[in-house]
Structure 1
Amino acid sequence: MSKSKTKLKRKEIIIYSIASFLAFAGLFFLILGIVGDHLPLVYSDNWILYSEKIWLTPWSNMGYRYWGLILLGVGALFGVFFLAYFAKEGDKDQERALRRAQRLGKVDEATTVEEVSK
């Protein structure tokens, strides 16, 4: 088994953490909205629907479900975008290292040819 020499940079960890937090918050709100709609309680005892009307409805006119879907989608898109970005950056680093190795190989060949001809 060969060990991978890739190392996560600090900015990758921070961005993946932010994307994961957004997706987790979206999933939490989505589940909270579904549970609130299906709790077999009177409206005055259902604290989820009660908080939704007091907290979310006055400024957004959307409930927990919609905010959950939005946050889950934003977190997923954020994560996928930066995953592709960092993968492309890693490919650039590998290509750069390969070109450098090829250049050094040509330089070594040129010096050995000069030494042999002397």
Structure 2
Amino acid sequence: MTKCIVCKKKIGLYLRVNNEGIAFCSDECYEGADNSPDDRDHPYIDDYDAIRWEYIACTNEYDSEAGEEEIEALQERIESALDEFWEYTALEGGDGVFAREIYRYWQELEELLGEKIRLGRDV
């Protein structure tokens, strides 16, 4: 597993990358890195941040023991995120670091929806 270049911790759910593809374990390490490039003007940064946080939130919300109402709300939330970032599937991550990460998160959300939510229930 990859380790954060700032704190050397294993990188997990809160993975953050910069436009050079350098991985950090959290926003704090990303913001505290020396000589890190300024990503604020990157054309995909807002979408990257949005889908990343949506993925983290949905992953944290998922509970296989949740009731029908909670599962349906999470399913709708994931489907909404998949719809919102659909255009990145055409790129298949081929337009730079952030496009690749958006596509990866899209696939992760699709997997969460398909394997854990839909297939885990009698649909």
Scaled by the length of structure 2, the TM-score of the pair is 0.32
Which is helix-richer, 1 or 2? 1
